[in-house]
Amino acid sequence: METLSTHKAHGGVQGVYRHASAATGTDMIFSVYVPPHAAGAKLPVLWYLSGLTCTHANVTDKGEYRRACAEQGVIFVAPDTSPRGEGVPDDEAYDFGQGAGFYVDATEAPWTSHFQMRDYIERELPELIAAEFPADLARQGITGHSMGGHGALTVALRNPGRFRSVSAFAPIVAPSVVPWGEKALAGYLGTDRAAWRRYDACALILDGARVPELLVDVGDADPFLHEQLRPELLQAACDAAHIPLTLRLQPGYDHSYYFVSSFLADHVAWHALRLKA
């Protein structure tokens, strides 16, 4: 692991790091904020998965989470959204290819050789975080924005018992039935819709996956609300499965980091309450 930068913030350290990933076959960059803590202490971890077109830098620069993490004693980890670099396939559209990994393990050429983001997020990066940082992986939470909200929900649902807390900002809750998701899942996984279900939060819940509870914030001025996000589908799935869902439709907020940064500290505190229990 190579350290690219470190800065002191709110008594802790905000770092950006790079490592050679076996899962993606590329170098991957991620950021980690470690709050102030006693020597030898192990701290709970909150994962943040970013959305379309983003890297680790979007939330690191705009998220406004460090004060809350310092107050709550929570490590904040923000990986990239896809493999990148020479020889990595890409697409001209913003919603497919580099910057749009959708947190899947691709099975279709030419994506399969590098786009193994599920393996990277679920296995490889947690192993690195546990080895290099004072992280207690018995106390993990996960959240994310948009495509990353989709990732947070599906990672948690596929790994029962791993995460004590799960939340999302404007998540794509049913990618199998919305344009962003249909394009991505068909491109990475092929046309067999049965293979898509493991990457669709509503389908996973319908198929029996469960989490203890969910917190979801969506802006009612989000231009993607009705076509791409469809939070009412998650509400219906959770109601049918008796999963407690707190769905907050925030008046006047859009899809941007002005929205995310307004409520991210609130999410950090919500996760911390459950991670410390």
| Cα(268)–Cα(271) distance, integer angstroms | 5
Instruction: Name the β-bridge partners of 7.
Output: 14
Q: Facing residues of 144 across strands?
A: 49
Mention every residue, 6+ apart, whose C-beta is less than 8 A from residue 240. Answer: 205, 206
Backbone torsion region of residue 203, taken as left when φ is above 0, otherwise alpha when ψ lies between -120 and 50, otherwise beta? alpha
**Strands 135-144 and 75-79, sheet pairing:** unpaired
Active-site amino acid positions:
146, 222, 255
Q: Which residues on neighbouring strands pair with residue 77, listed in sequence order?
A: 32, 47
Give the CA dihedral 155, 159, 263, 251, nearest 10 degrees: 70
Nearest 10 degrees: Cα torsion 127, 139, 245, 258: -70
Q: Is 207 exposed, middle or buried (0-12, 13-18, 19+ CB in 10 A)?
A: exposed
